[in-house]
């Protein structure tokens, strides 16, 4: 009887551990969502099943941790921006934006550093149903 109880308990612990590991692995976006990682930089203004609208600020010299943008988005620059994006493999690319300009950004995993002379301010409209 004890042997059956130990076997059953061991199997349940194994199933639970596997389930938790799979849940964490299959949902990396929730763990790396920039809104959750950097709430001082990303303020959600509106969210529904179609879009998430974000007021974005990145101070001069500020760097964000590695994060994941799960959906494509339109980014509208309120200020000029000079940013250094670094991918998970370590490759970096400098990007710039002009005040009044809008760009299309696809899903991406990266860090961002503000390498310009002023704070960056943008409006980000993430499209939840776009491909």
pLDDT at 11: 52
Overall pTM surpassing 0.85 (yes/no)? no
Q: Cβ contacts of residue 74 below 8 Å, gap of 6+? A: 102, 103, 104, 105, 124, 125, 127
Please compute the mean of the pLDDT values over residues 14-42 and round it to a whole number. 62
Q: What is the CATH number of domain 32-127?
A: 2.60.120.10
Ranges assigned E (strand) in the chain: 42-47, 51-58, 67-69, 73-77, 81-86, 92-97, 102-105, 108-114, 120-127
How many angstroms separate the CA atoms of 73 and 75, rounded? 6
Please compute the mean of the pLDDT values over residues 50-71 and round it to a whole number. 96
Categorize the per-residue pLDDT at 2 as very low, low, confident or very high, splitting at 50, 70 and 90.
low
Please compute the mean of the pLDDT values over residues 5-26 and round it to a whole number. 47
In the chain, where the domains are located:
1-28, 32-127
């Amino acid at each position: 009887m004890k042997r059956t109880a130990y076997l059953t308990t061991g199997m349940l612990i194994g199933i639970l551990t596997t389930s938790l590991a799979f849940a964490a692995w299959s949902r990396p976006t929730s763990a790396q969502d920039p809104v959750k990682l950097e709430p001082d930089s990303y303020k959600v203004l509106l969210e529904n099943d179609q879009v998430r609208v974000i007021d974005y600020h990145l101070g001069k010299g500020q760097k964000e941790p590695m994060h994941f943008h799960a959906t494509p988005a339109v980014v509208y620059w309120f200020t000029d921006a000079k940013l250094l994006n670094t991918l998970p493999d370590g490759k970096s690319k400098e990007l710039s934006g002009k005040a009044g300009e809008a760009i299309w950004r696809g899903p991406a995993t990266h860090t961002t550093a503000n390498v310009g002379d002023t704070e960056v301010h943008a409006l980000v409209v993430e499209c939840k149903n776009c491909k």
